[in-house]
A = this chain, B = another copy of it.
């Protein structure tokens, strides 16, 4: 629990207490607000519920945790709601990230428009392969993985994105942490051991397919929340 953060955000937005599921839905509400042309307009809990695939009551509960934003019979001010969600998620600022492991997945991520739109900037590229070091991709030059601890600190990157083969994931994670990253998005299908102060979100693409297989097999309805 970080008191300074909670104080700044006020008692109505004690974000650290939100469940993982709620935080995922906040991201989805934000997508829904962004994809519709609602500048200056209002949006109802039912609109949001329909676009995300949950109940309107769930939407109201989730958004109540952000403060008193909605008005009965009128709905939410779309712009104010988007601002409140971005503040709660911690994306009312920009984040600097480095990417390690320059393969097809990394190239896809570099061109993924959604990152820039949400304030995530990839400021460094690293690889262990001498054939890749020195290449320029989308304006960034690939640097040697050996330089990660020094360069991450120089680049003031807080996040690291791991797209290396499984066997390299743990040592690369450790060099990122040595450089000062506070969070790692891990695409390698391996569980990372990291200090408590470092956050890890794992994206195991086979797990996503397994979740889909489970739902098809068991006729489990509803979206991915």
Contacts and interface: CB of A to CB of B under 8 A. Distances in A.
A202 B183 contact: no
A16 B206 contact: no
Nearest to A206: B114
A213 B105 contact: no
A71 interface: no
Q: How many copies does the complex hold?
A: 2
A51 interface: yes
A89 B31 contact: no
A202 B217 contact: no
A156 interface: no
Nearest to A119: B213
Nearest to A190: B35
A103 interface: yes
A210 to B, nearest CB: 5
B185 A209 contact: yes
Given A24-B211, A28-B207, A108-B103, A90 B225 contact: no
Interface string A1-39: 110010000000001100011011001100110010000
A35 B24 CA distance: 28
Interface stretch (A56-64, A147-155, A193-201): A193-201
Interface residues of A, number: 74
Contacts of A103: 108
A184 B208 CA distance: 11
A97 B206 CA distance: 13
A203 interface: yes
Interface in A174-225: 182-185, 189-191, 196-197, 199-221, 223-225
5 closest cross-chain pairs (CB), A and B: A90-B217, A114-B206, A105-B108, A104-B108, A199-B215
Given A112-B205, A114-B205, A191-B223, 7 more contacts: A1-B219, A23-B214, A89-B214, A90-B214, A112-B206, A199-B216, A203-B205
